[in-house]
Structure 1
Amino acid sequence: MSLNQRKQERDFTAEVKALQPEVEQLAKNGKLQEAVDKISLLEKQTRNAADMTSTASLLTLLTRLVWEQSDLDLLNSQLTILSKKHGQLKEAVVRMVDEAMTWLPTLKAQKDQGKFKNGKDRWLELVKTLRDITEGKIYLELPRARLTVMLASYHEQLSESAPKEASSSNTPAPSASTSSADKDKPKPEPVTSKDHLDVAADLMSDIQVETYSSMDKREKTEFILEQMRLESLRGNWVRVRVGSRKINRVYLKEKDSQDIKLRYYDLMVQLALQDDEYLEACSAYQEVWDTEEVKADPAKELNVLENIMIYVVLAPYNNEQSDMLHKLYANSALQKAPQHFELVKCFVTKELMRWSGIEQLYGPTLRQSPIFASGQVRWEELHKRVTEHNIRVIASYYSRITLKRLEELLDLTPAQTERTLCKLVTDKTVYARIDRPKGIINFKAKTAKNANAILNDWSGDINKMLGLVEKTSHLISKEYAMHEASRGKKVAA
């Protein structure tokens, strides 16, 4: 659909074609301002006549001539002036901005070569000019999103070289009161590494690309992933989770989006581990495993398989974890990591595991993994999972057991044993009642009768009672008859 809503009154195509060689010659002769004035004069006529094609041609012609003459100050001013003219045609502005954005890579290359070290950063200046032009304009939302990615990347690069902390001379003294005039002041320039990173993340989070219909799926997904990555760098994991829900996971399964899929699930693993959600991390690694790039590389595949099995074992026991554990055990492909597979087998089998034996058999291999390299926290989590497994096994075989015997089977102190057992009871993983005076644990729950069973028992009791009443009545009648008979015989005699 065209952005030009006004009806065209006149066609200026001939005049534009006639003017183009004239102004190009003037620009070559060093009379750039005269060429700009001539183009501006005709542009006003084409704009008022709603000739979109001619207006767009003149806007791109003017900015191109200024660019070719390397007058970057005039370029920035003309871009702003042309975009703000009264009744300016939207499609013409879109084409002008698209033309200007093609010069950014050239300026970026010049900047990387050190051309702007002693003067203005022309690349940054043009990016900010174009962002000011695109601000608040729906028809320029796509160029604005792309410019924002460039500016955020610039601030991220600065964060790597910026100081960690601001010096006392650069830090403004906080005022006791804040007035409305202070609120209107522009934000101070970022100084520290954290400041630059915050600016980059804020720039990206201000753009809601999920609502953009003009952006293709891949670019939109990459933009959201960049938002999530920057938020993860500054530790805002809540926004990372919000961003993850904007990603279309069906699109990630397509063949041409495998690289994006790996980046996405890498962030998902980091997010899951922030809250020790090991089952989510396991699910994310299973999605990574289901990627051709990973399966084609034996080393990558082995690493992913090991992580899958470690995280499913570290996850707390519930129906979902148990189901996933048994499904993974049934998958023969996991036998490519034999020692990790044997550990999974230990958790599937309903047999007791001695922690000392587990530590001796699997400790050297597991401690080489980055998962356990961070410290003792996850190693203690594994110990907890072994203990919890043992209690579930004991509860399935024993109806009653002494507390002392349970401590021996678990290799734990009395306090640790009771604490672990209480946690499983409160989580409703097992049923148990502790008789402390006797030191006995009862694993067998009293089965509560339902309403039907109670009614059946009551009906049976009533039948028994009526039977007894009937039998008693019969015996009384019999005794009465015998008494009458014996009495009659005595009278006759």
Structure 2
Amino acid sequence: MSEPKKQERDYTKEVNELLPEVEALVKARAIQEALDRIYVLEKQTRNAADIPSTRTLANRAIGICYEAKQYGLLNTTFQTLTKKHGQIKGVIQSMVEDSMPWLDHMEGETKLEFVKMLREVTEGRIFLETPRARLTLILARHEETLGTKEALEKASELLSDLQVETYSSMERREKTDFILEQMRLLAAIGDWSRVKVGSRKINQAFLKEEKNEDLKLRFYDLMIRYSLELDEYLEICKHYYAIRDTPSIKADEQKSRLALENIAYFIVLAPHDNEQSDMINRLNIDPALTKLQLQSQLIKSFVTPELMRWPNLVDYYGETLRKTAAFAPVSSPENNDGKGDKRWKELHKRVIEHNIRIIAKYYTRIHLKRLTQLLDLTPQETEDVLCRLVVDKTVYARIDRPAGIVNFKAPKTPEDVMNDFSGDMAKLLGLVEKTWMSMNAALAAKA
């Protein structure tokens, strides 16, 4: 394909004279003769850089083949015209864009061959990157319908090769849709690391626009699947918060309730840290939570500085929680990812961790035997959990094994000692100043 050059001659008159003759040949079913007539004039218009005339002739040539339903000839003619020496960029672009709607009227192998041919034509041509992306999506969906693992991997690979985020000719909404399709297929083959990479290409501010609500819900559904796979419970809460903040979800009481229920389940499953503590306390005062009695009580149990007994929690919440998608056993029909039993054990761990934090808050020292009773664990399990929390720096604890005593009081650092001394001195000086002022006031009153 040559560089654009100045038009040397206008062949509009010759084209207008040729087209009726071509149509007559087409009606007489002399398709090849009609194409040959077009080729002769097309060469002249192309060499003269007459873009409008060349475009008209090229589009009519492929149009004749399509209308005659000679799809093999259509593919050959298309490739022949695009490979002509010095073929004009605008002509190729017009041919591809004008032929794309024909795909809606093709089926089966005919459609597949036409798509593959168009992809060959568009390969390496930056000005056709958007049509190529659309063609690749059609081909990927065809591969997906084959239903085999190899076909699914091929479909994912086809779409993943497209760097649509760099396409200047593609609208932002279409880009987002392509990236979501890439993520969906990557999730289908279990390539979760690349799903995460794809999620970074999505502009979440763009998803907040009302017209993009469908894209937003698709994105967060994929992110929930990703976070579930990696057991990122706090991230799952954030995703459900984003879903619940969507207008259509707000308007649907059942969907809004389901999102809030999942927020409650996964916030208690999330490991304790400052962010988790902040989120669970904000959730506790959410007016909508009061309408969910069981979930409200569960959240309140975790924010109240009191011990929770696991057997009592199982009796009160177990039957309901084990019927939810989050905690359903593997054998249950409600289970959808096979991790319900794992999350049920995680909930038990969070209850134990909560109890240890409460005990550390109220006790400076406690016998290991008594601690074991309060946690409803064996001595070894108690030590294991306690050691893990110490390593995570959730609590401070030291175990005196010969004495069987756990010490929760952390020794003061030199900085802490100095801060305490400074605070005590400030209080002392404040009292001295207050006493001095009172004495002066009393002396002034006597005088």
TM-score normalised by structure 2 residue count: 0.89
| Distance in 2 (alpha carbons) for counterparts of 1:453 and 1:225 | 56
Q: Percent of aligned positions with the same letter in both sequences?
A: 54
| Distance in 2 (alpha carbons) for counterparts of 1:232 and 1:423 | 32
The residue number in structure 2 matching 1:84 is 83
| Distance in 2 (alpha carbons) for counterparts of 1:94 and 1:297 | 46
Q: In the comparison of the two structures, how many residue pairs are matched? A: 411
Q: Does structure 2 conserve the Cα–Cα contact (< 8 Å) formed by 1:302 and 1:336?
A: no
CA gap 1:80/1:315 in 2 versus in 1, 3 angstroms: same
The residue number in structure 2 matching 1:75 is 74
Letter in 2 for 1:445: A
| Distance in 1 (alpha carbons) for counterparts of 2:315 and 2:343 | 17
Runs of 4+ in 1 over 4 A off after TM superposition: none
Letter in 2 for 1:69: A
The residue number in structure 1 matching 2:433 is none
The residue number in structure 1 matching 2:134 is 146
What is the CA deviation profile of residues 190-216 of structure 1, one whole-angstrom value per residue up to 9, with x for unaligned ones? Answer: xxx111111101100111100001111
Structure 1 position 283 matched with structure 2 position 271 = no
Letter in 2 for 1:258: E
Letter in 2 for 1:53: P
Please report how far the alpha carbon of residue 52 of structure 1 lies from its aligned counterpart in structure 2 after TM superposition: 1.2
| Distance in 2 (alpha carbons) for counterparts of 1:429 and 1:251 | 38
TM-score normalised by structure 1 residue count: 0.81
| Distance in 2 (alpha carbons) for counterparts of 1:435 and 1:22 | 104
Q: Which deviates more, 31-40 or 442-451?
A: 442-451
Please report how far the alpha carbon of residue 336 of structure 1 lies from its aligned counterpart in structure 2 after TM superposition: 2.7
The residue number in structure 2 matching 1:401 is 366
The residue number in structure 2 matching 1:441 is 406
The residue number in structure 1 matching 2:56 is 57
| Distance in 2 (alpha carbons) for counterparts of 1:371 and 1:59 | 59
Q: Does structure 2 conserve the Cα–Cα contact (< 8 Å) formed by 1:156 and 1:200?
A: yes
What is the CA deviation profile of residues 397-433 of structure 1, one whole-angstrom value per residue up to 9, with x for unaligned ones? Answer: 0011010110111111001101011111000000001
| Distance in 1 (alpha carbons) for counterparts of 2:255 and 2:343 | 23
CA gap 1:203/1:315 in 2 versus in 1, 3 angstroms: same
Please report how far the alpha carbon of residue 452 of structure 1 lies from its aligned counterpart in structure 2 after TM superposition: 9.1
| Distance in 2 (alpha carbons) for counterparts of 1:334 and 1:451 | 41
Structure 1 position 211 matched with structure 2 position 185 = no
The residue number in structure 1 matching 2:37 is 38
| Distance in 2 (alpha carbons) for counterparts of 1:271 and 1:308 | 16
State the SS of the aligned residue for 2:111: helix
The residue number in structure 1 matching 2:207 is 252
| Distance in 2 (alpha carbons) for counterparts of 1:450 and 1:357 | 43
| Distance in 1 (alpha carbons) for counterparts of 2:192 and 2:381 | 33
| Distance in 2 (alpha carbons) for counterparts of 1:107 and 1:450 | 78
**Alignment partner for residue 378 of structure 2, among 413, 433, 456?**
413
Please report how far the alpha carbon of residue 334 of structure 1 lies from its aligned counterpart in structure 2 after TM superposition: 2.0
Letter in 1 for 2:364: S
State the SS of the aligned residue for 1:376: helix
The residue number in structure 2 matching 1:196 is 151
The residue number in structure 1 matching 2:256 is 301
| Distance in 1 (alpha carbons) for counterparts of 2:73 and 2:29 | 14
Structure 1 position 431 matched with structure 2 position 431 = no
| Distance in 1 (alpha carbons) for counterparts of 2:181 and 2:410 | 53
Please report how far the alpha carbon of residue 5 of structure 1 lies from its aligned counterpart in structure 2 after TM superposition: 2.8
Structure 1 position 93 matched with structure 2 position 92 = yes
1:367-382 superposed matches below 5 A: 367-373=322-328, 374=338, 375-382=340-347
State the SS of the aligned residue for 2:406: strand
Structure 1 position 422 matched with structure 2 position 387 = yes
Please report how far the alpha carbon of residue 294 of structure 1 lies from its aligned counterpart in structure 2 after TM superposition: 1.1
Greater gyration radius: 1
**Alignment partner for residue 336 of structure 1, among 274, 287, 291?**
291
Letter in 1 for 2:192: W
Q: Which deviates more, 363-372 or 385-394?
A: 363-372
Q: Which deviates more, 336-345 or 439-448?
A: 336-345
Structure 1 position 359 matched with structure 2 position 314 = yes
The residue number in structure 1 matching 2:197 is 242
State the SS of the aligned residue for 1:401: strand
Letter in 1 for 2:93: V
- Mark the runs of 5 or more structure 1 residues left unpaired by the alignment: 112-120, 160-192, 458-493
**Alignment partner for residue 346 of structure 1, among 288, 301, 305?**
301
1:131-210 superposed matches below 5 A: 131-159=119-147, 193-210=148-165
Q: Does structure 2 conserve the Cα–Cα contact (< 8 Å) formed by 1:4 and 1:91?
A: no
| Distance in 1 (alpha carbons) for counterparts of 2:144 and 2:278 | 43
State the SS of the aligned residue for 2:399: strand
